Structure 1
Amino acid sequence: MAGFVEMFKLGKTYDTPHGPAVIVEDFSLNMQQGEYVCLLGHSGCGKSTVLTMVAGLNSISHGGVIIDNREIDGPGPDRGIVFQSPCLMPWMTAFENVMLGVKQVYPHGTRQQRHDIVAYYLNLVGLGDSLHKNAGELSQGMQQRVGIARAFALKPRMLLLDEPFGMLDSLTRMELQEILQEILTRDRITTLMITHDVDEALFMSDRVVMMTNGPRARVGAVFEMPFERPRERADVLAHPEYYALREKMISFLEEQDHKKQQKSIEELAAKRAAAAQTTVAS
């Protein structure tokens, strides 16, 4: 079934001195409008490669991405991005950092209209008392709030999150997860999020897409989340399917670990065999 976002046979190949390196191959995924999907997999499996191709920040070697019936050919204001590090201008205030994007997206808005948009979203993420503090003076958690506010202030059609809570302590991470849940439930923005945290994926998403190991990474399994929205963390943890889903996702990751180890053993054996033949020949 076609979706609001269609990724069809996405592939990314890099040229290297040893020949083409295929990082992602035949990655296909449809997302419905307002859906929250988490990409989950081991480090280096190609999650960020998929996300940056959808963002238009990384060229697509094969296949394509369609968002709202338009094939993308580069970055655009229809996609908001939050990275693990929010990439703020440290000498500018939280307000000024968000205003940078708002001026680009609302060039014909009045000064007051733009001011109200920036203040609204910074208040929404709990920074009402820190609007005019320099970004460099803020904690990591507060900086990430600025990044989230900036992304939402641009009113994107799609939100792309690259491990946005990965550098935060557990309490700050949970607080920001809940803030993000509230905003997304209300605004129904289609969201693709990268994570390596099984519990985060379970709590945040409507579907979890498991990626196989790279190279040639692709969709390995898809899990539907049965939890209703709006969500309370305690209700999710108490759901009768929570731990069964968690076990399936962990088992998939462990299976990928086993395959990776087996591949390493086979490659090492092949190298030793080749070295032995070279020694005999000489």
Structure 2
Amino acid sequence: MRGYVEMFRLGKTYDTHRGPVVIVEEFDLNLAKGEYVALLGHSGCGKSTVLTMVAGLNPITTGGVVIDGREIDGPGPDRGVVFQSPCLMPWMTALDNVMLGVNQVYSRSSKRDRIDLASYYLNLVGLGGSLNKRAKDLSQGMQQRVGIARAFALRPKMLLLDEPFGMLDSLTRMELQEILLEILMRDKVTTVMVTHDVDEALFMSDRVVMMTNGPRARVGAIFSLPFERPRQRADVLDHPEYYEYRGKMIQFLEEQDHKKLQAEANARQRVKQSTPAETEPTAASV
């Protein structure tokens, strides 16, 4: 079945001094328009590699990505990206940081319209009173709000989130999760989020895509979640299937842990078998 976003046989190989290393292999995933999908897996399994390939920031080795009928060949304003660190210009104001992208994408619009667009999204993330504060004077949570506003202000077809709440305290993280979901409900932006947090994936996503361990990581399992939108955290936690899905995801991750430990043990055994055994000195050699 074709989707609004199609990732087909997506793969990434890096050349090293020991030869090519396949990080991601045969990654297939389709998304419907407006769908929210989380990529969940252990650190180093290739989640961010997939995300940066879709963003056009990392060259694709095999396969491809199609968004709204067009195959991507690099970065573009049709994809907004929010990283764990917002990467703002510290000497510029919150408004000016958002305006950087708006000025590029909407250069034919009037200056007033561009300012209004940037201000609108800064207001939505709760920074209406901090438009003219320099980024270096904002808290970490406020800086991430600027990063989210900057991505939405481009009005992208797709939003790509690389652990956007990973550096925040728990209260700020929960608040920004809810703000993000409110904007997504309003703008209907197709979204892929990388996370290693099971509860975050359950609360925010329509589907959770579990990735196998790398190298040669691929889709290991997909869970379609039954939680209705708009979402309230208490309703999700009280849903009769919440802990069933949570248990399945944790079980998958534990199975990946077991496979990793088994692979490491097998590798050590092969090294041991290939190492010549020390021999006792013979009488003739003494």
TM-score normalised over the length of structure 1: 0.98
User: Given the alignment of the two structures, is residue 49 of structure 1 paired with residue 68 of structure 2, yes or no?
Assistant: no
1:89 aligns with 89
1:230 aligns with 230
2:27 aligns with 27
- Aligned positions of 1:264-279 closer than 5 A: 264-277=264-277, 279=278
Q: C-alpha separation between the residues in 2 aligned to 1:142 and 1:270?
A: 51
- Deviation at residue 276 of structure 1 after TM alignment: 3.3
Give the AA of the match of 1:260.
K
1:169 aligns with 169
Give the AA of the match of 1:81.
V
Identity of aligned residues (%): 74
Q: C-alpha separation between the residues in 2 aligned to 1:185 and 1:114?
A: 23
1:250 aligns with 250
1:211 aligns with 211
- Deviation at residue 270 of structure 1 after TM alignment: 1.2
2:114 aligns with 114
230-239 or 261-270: which moved more? 261-270
Q: C-alpha separation between the residues in 2 aligned to 1:98 and 1:243?
A: 39
Give the AA of the match of 1:117.
L
Q: C-alpha separation between the residues in 2 aligned to 1:265 and 1:259?
A: 10
- Deviation at residue 251 of structure 1 after TM alignment: 0.2
Q: How many residues align?
A: 280
2:284 aligns with none
Q: C-alpha separation between the residues in 1 aligned to 2:112 and 2:71?
A: 35
- Aligned positions of 1:131-210 closer than 5 A: 131-210=131-210
- Secondary structure in 2 matching 1:265: helix
Deviations 1:17-75 (A, max 9, x none): 11110000000000000000000000000000000000000011100000001000000
Deviations 1:51-108 (A, max 9, x none): 0000000011100000001000000000000000001000100010000000001101
**Larger Rg: 1 or 2?**
2
1:10 aligns with 10
RMSD of Structure 2 on Structure 1 (CA): 1.0
Q: C-alpha separation between the residues in 2 aligned to 1:219 and 1:89?
A: 36
Deviations 1:128-159 (A, max 9, x none): 11111110111110000000000000000000
Q: C-alpha separation between the residues in 1 aligned to 2:273 and 2:94?
A: 59
Give the AA of the match of 1:201.
A
Q: C-alpha separation between the residues in 1 aligned to 2:139 and 2:274?
A: 53
Q: C-alpha separation between the residues in 2 aligned to 1:19 and 1:8?
A: 25
Give the AA of the match of 2:126.
G
Q: Flag as ranges the 4+ runs of structure 1 deviating above 6 A.
A: none
- Secondary structure in 1 matching 2:276: helix
Give the AA of the match of 1:178.
E
Q: C-alpha separation between the residues in 1 aligned to 2:268 and 2:18?
A: 18
Ranges in structure 2 where 5+ consecutive residues have no aligned partner: 280-286
Give the AA of the match of 1:100.
L
Q: C-alpha separation between the residues in 1 aligned to 2:240 and 2:155?
A: 36
- Deviation at residue 180 of structure 1 after TM alignment: 0.3
TM-score normalised over the length of structure 2: 0.97
Q: C-alpha separation between the residues in 2 aligned to 1:193 and 1:275?
A: 45
